[in-house]
């Protein structure tokens, strides 16, 4: 009895439940592909450009003067042959069709304007070992040997040479060798050295005016014999290697 009541209640609940819609049939319409095709056709009619049926082939020529497509491929063959004939008419060489029966192309040998330096036979016919030896001997006969000459000596008195002075001295910079008397010699040297564009020029004038024993220009306050911090070291290194 209890089982019968449970069965009746389950049947009643199933009758009250709404049916589940079929998602494959679309929402609110039948087949979706049919609907989409009908929608495109409707839009084309509204815009004035109705779509042709799928099995309709247009007979409109692609370009002016070209035949319409017949579907059997004969027009395509005729157009291709016409293009080949036209290209052959505009050239002095016949068109080469890509078939296995074509003869092998002939290589162009000895064409004017092309170098034959990589052709051993051609080069060997033009030159030989004997001719090359004669050419080398001819070039050697034109050589002119120039003997080395001594460097010219300076004429007149060009003043003291700072290179000779640097090589004649041995003491380093800052070592007092000569006596200097005065007040604020360093300050005066700074002002006087500022007038020169280089220490070499200051050293040359310093030697010209009585240096290194006398410092008339006030360029050597520490008495080392080097004006305006002139350094003889680079000259000594150049000679010593």
Structural domain harbouring 216: 162-240
What is the predicted pLDDT for the residue at 4?
A: 57
The reply to whether 24 falls in a domain is no
SS (H, E, C) the chain: CHHHHHHHHHHHHHHHCCCCCCHHHCCCCCCHHHHHHHHHHHHHHHHCCCCCCCCCCCCCCCCCCCCCCCCCCHHHHHHHHHHHHHHHHCCCCCCCCCCCCCCCCCCCCCCCCCCCCCCHHHHHHHCCHHHHHHHHHHHHHCCCCCCCCCCCCCCCCCCCCHHHHHHHCCCCCCCCCCCCCCCCHHHHHHHHHCCCCCHHHHHHHHHHCCCCCCCCCCCCCCCCCCHHHCCCHHHHHHHHC
Q: Which residues contact 203 (CB under 8 A, 6 or more apart)?
A: 162, 165, 226, 227, 228, 230
The reply to whether 139 falls in a domain is no
The reply to whether 88 falls in a domain is no
The reply to whether 174 falls in a domain is yes
CB half-sphere exposure, 130, CA atoms < 13 A: 1
What is the predicted pLDDT for the residue at 176?
A: 92
What is the predicted pLDDT for the residue at 69?
A: 47
The number of folded domains in the chain is 1
The reply to whether 106 falls in a domain is no
The reply to whether 37 falls in a domain is no
What is the predicted pLDDT for the residue at 85?
A: 75
The reply to whether 119 falls in a domain is no
The reply to whether 101 falls in a domain is no
Question: Tens place of pLDDT for every residue, the chain, 241 residues?
Answer: 555 566 655 655 555 555 555 555 545 556 778 888 888 888 877 776 555 555 555 555 555 445 454 555 667 778 888 777 776 666 556 666 667 777 777 766 655 556 666 777 777 777 788 888 998 999 988 888 888 887 777 665 667 889 999 999 999 999 999 999 989 999 999 999 999 999 999 999 999 999 999 999 999 999 999 999 999 999 999 887 5
């Amino acid at each position: 009895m209890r089982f019968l009541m449970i069965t009746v209640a389950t049947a009643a609940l199933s009758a009250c439940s709404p049916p589940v819609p079929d998602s494959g049939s679309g929402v609110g319409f039948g087949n979706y592909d049919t609907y989409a095709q009908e929608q495109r056709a409707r839009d084309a009619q509204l815009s004035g450009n109705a779509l042709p049926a799928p099995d309709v082939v247009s007979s409109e020529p692609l370009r002016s003067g070209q035949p319409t497509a017949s579907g059997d491929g004969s027009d395509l063959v005729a157009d291709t042959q016409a293009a080949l004939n036209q290209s052959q008419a505009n050239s002095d060489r016949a068109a080469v069709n890509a078939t296995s029966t074509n003869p092998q192309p002939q290589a162009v040998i000895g064409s004017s304007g092309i170098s034959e330096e990589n052709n051993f036979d051609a080069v060997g016919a033009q030159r030989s070992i004997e001719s090359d030896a004669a050419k080398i001997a001819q070039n050697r006969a034109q050589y002119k040997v120039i003997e080395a000459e001594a460097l010219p000596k300076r004429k007149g008195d060009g003043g003291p040479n700072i290179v000779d002075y640097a090589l004649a001295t041995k003491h380093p910079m800052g070592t007092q060798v000569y006596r200097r008397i005065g007040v604020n010699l360093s300050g005066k040297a700074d002002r006087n050295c500022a007038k020169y564009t280089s220490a070499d020029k200051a050293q040359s004038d310093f030697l010209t005016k009585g240096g290194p024993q006398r410092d008339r220009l006030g360029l050597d306050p520490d008495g080392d014999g080097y004006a305006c911090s002139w350094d003889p070291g680079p000259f000594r290194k150049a000679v010593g290697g």
